[in-house]
Amino acid sequence: MLSRLASPRTGGLLALAAAIAFLPLALRNNYFYDIAILVGLNAIVCVGLNLLIGYAGQISLGHAGFFGLGAYGSAILASRYGWPPLAAMLTTTFAVAALAFLVGRPILRLKGHYLAMATLGLGVIIFMVITTEDKFTGGPDGIAVVPFSIGGLILRDERIWYWVIGALLLIAVWLALNLIESPAGRALRALHNSEVGAEVVGINAAEHKVMVFVISAVFASLAGSLAAHYSGFVTPGKVTFLHSIELVTMVVFGGMASTFGAVVGAAVLTTLPQLLTVFKDYEMMVFGAVMMGTMIFLPRGVVPSLARFIRSRRQKGSAASNGEAA
């Protein structure tokens, strides 16, 4: 039992749950809650995106587009057409999943990084449609969104949103960990290593890549829907190519192929700009510098590098104590 608690899987989930539970002690006002919720939403996107980048070895440069589709889908269906927010969210999610499938299926049959190109194009198209179709989307001005409600219960308070997003982030991480530790997850890691090696034991590489691409798009879409209802307003600002790059940077910074790394990456790179508001105009430069610095000094990302450092320290420590005993 103790060993199960100490496993990276259960231990990590418990640590994350504890962090979410105790963080409010440090959140002095609604502004802090607002940042924490933003971190949670970005973390959900990054956990999904990390499955694609870290495990399937594919890059998406259009996840802000899926995030935006989620946000606008919910906004339009719930606010313009008066759908119940939950129904609007689920319908939007299914539509985004279908879109990701349609785009991913032909592209991911090709070997190589064509998905990056395709998603880059898709993200730009989504952005253009959202800014020009102002009858539905409000164009560059954006669109107001009704608050989230289930039955008669209306979700307005930042503090309640915090707990909802926190719980959803935990669930997202749990789902991602389940996927990684499954036959499908092993198949993904295997084909990332050697595609032909994976194929000859019966793994359909293209099918797995499409599956994980759709899952990552669904995570982004759900986060987008929640973000729209939470902030009560959506603008095309979060649908830009730059935001897609930010999301990829968060995953790379935190550590590819590390689910908790994705959460840490989202946390650091979401709060950093808030702390460094003086850099506002140079935000992208800071992001670029962070990306470059990570690639040069921590190519495996912050969390995996840290884990390796601690493990080697511990091994050295136990070797030293063994030496003393002998």
Partner 1 sequence: MSVLHVTGLSKKFGGVNAVEDLSFDIQPGAVYSIIGPNGAGKTTLLNLLSGVYQPSAGRIAFGEHELTGRAPYEFAGRGIARTFQNLQVFFHMSALENVMVGRYLHERCGIVSTLLRSPRLARAERACREEAAEIMRFVGLHNYLSAAADAMPYGALKRLEIARALATAPKLMLLDEPAAGLNPTEALELDNLIVRLTERGVTVVLVEHNMRLVMGVSDHILVLDYGRKLAEGPAATVRNDPKVIEAYLGGAVAHDGSYGNEIASVVAAAVEMHR
Whole-number Å distance between alpha carbons of 19 and 8: 16
Which residue in 82, 112, 152, 202 binds partner 1 (CB under 8 A)?
A: 202
Encoded tokens for 144: 């107001």
Q: Is residue 226 within 8 Å of 10, Cβ to Cβ?
A: no
Binder to partner 1 among 143, 203, 250, 252 (CB under 8 A)? 203
Task: Check binding of 197 to partner 1 (CB under 8 A).
Answer: yes
Q: Which of 165, 226, 213, 231 is nearest to 62 (CA)?
A: 213
**Does 1 contact partner 1 by CB under 8 A?**
no
Nearest CA to 258 out of 66, 113, 46 is that of: 46
**Contact region for partner 1 (CB under 8 A) — 11-19, 39-47, 149-157, 191-199?**
191-199
**Interface region with partner 1, contact rule CB under 8 A, candidates 31-39, 67-75, 78-86, 193-201:** 193-201
Q: Is 153 in the site for partner 1 (CB under 8 A)?
A: no
Q: Which is nearer to partner 1, 10 or 30 (CB)?
A: 10
Contact with partner 1 (CB under 8 A) among 30, 194, 274, 318:
194
Position 318 contacts partner 1 (CB under 8 A): no
Of positions 198, 220, 234, 262, contacts partner 1 by CB under 8 A? 198
Min CB(236)–partner 1 separation in Å? 32
Alpha-carbon distance of 238 to 68, in angstroms, equals 7
Residue 190 binds partner 1 (CB under 8 A): yes
Nearer to partner 1, 78 or 177 (CB): 177
Q: Which is nearer to partner 1, 48 or 73 (CB)?
A: 48
Minimum CB–partner distance for residue 94 and partner 1 (Å): 14
Longest dimension (CA), the chain: 79
User: How many secondary structure helices (H) and strands (E) does the chain include?
Assistant: 15, 4
> Of residues 35, 184, 272, 286, which one binds partner 1 by CB under 8 A?
184
Asked if residue 307 binds partner 1 (CB under 8 A), the reply is no
- The least distance separating partner 1 from the CB of residue 93, rounded to whole angstroms, comes to 14
Amino acid letter at 304? P
User: Exposed, middle or buried: residue 251 (CB in 10 Å: 0-12, 13-18, 19+)?
Assistant: buried
Q: How far apart are the first and last CA of the chain?
A: 32
Q: Are 153 and 267 in contact (CB under 8 A)?
A: no
Find the helix or strand (DSSP H, E) in which 82 lies.
none
Q: How far is the CB of 195 from partner 1 (least distance, A)?
A: 9
Reduced to 3 states, what is the DSSP secondary structure of residue 144?
strand
* Interaction of residue 204 with partner 1, rule CB under 8 A: yes
Binding of partner 1 by 193 (CB under 8 A): yes
Q: Which residues pair with 143 in a beta bridge?
A: 234
Contact predicate 74/85, CB 8 Å: yes
How many residues touch partner 1 under the rule CB under 8 A: the total is 26
Q: By CB under 8 A, is residue 296 in contact with partner 1?
A: no
Q: Which helix (H) or strand (E) holds 112?
A: none
Residue 186 binds partner 1 (CB under 8 A): yes
Q: Using the rule CB under 8 A, which residue among 10, 30, 178, 274 binds partner 1?
A: 178
**Residue list 208-227, contact with partner 1 (CB under 8 A):** 211
189 interacts with partner 1 by CB under 8 A: yes
Q: Which residue from 80, 50, 93, 133 is spatially nearest to 224, judged by alpha carbons?
A: 93
Asked if residues 238 and 65 have their Cβ atoms less than 8 Å apart, the reply is no
Q: Which residues bind partner 1 (CB under 8 A)?
A: 175, 178-179, 181-187, 189-190, 192-194, 196-205, 211
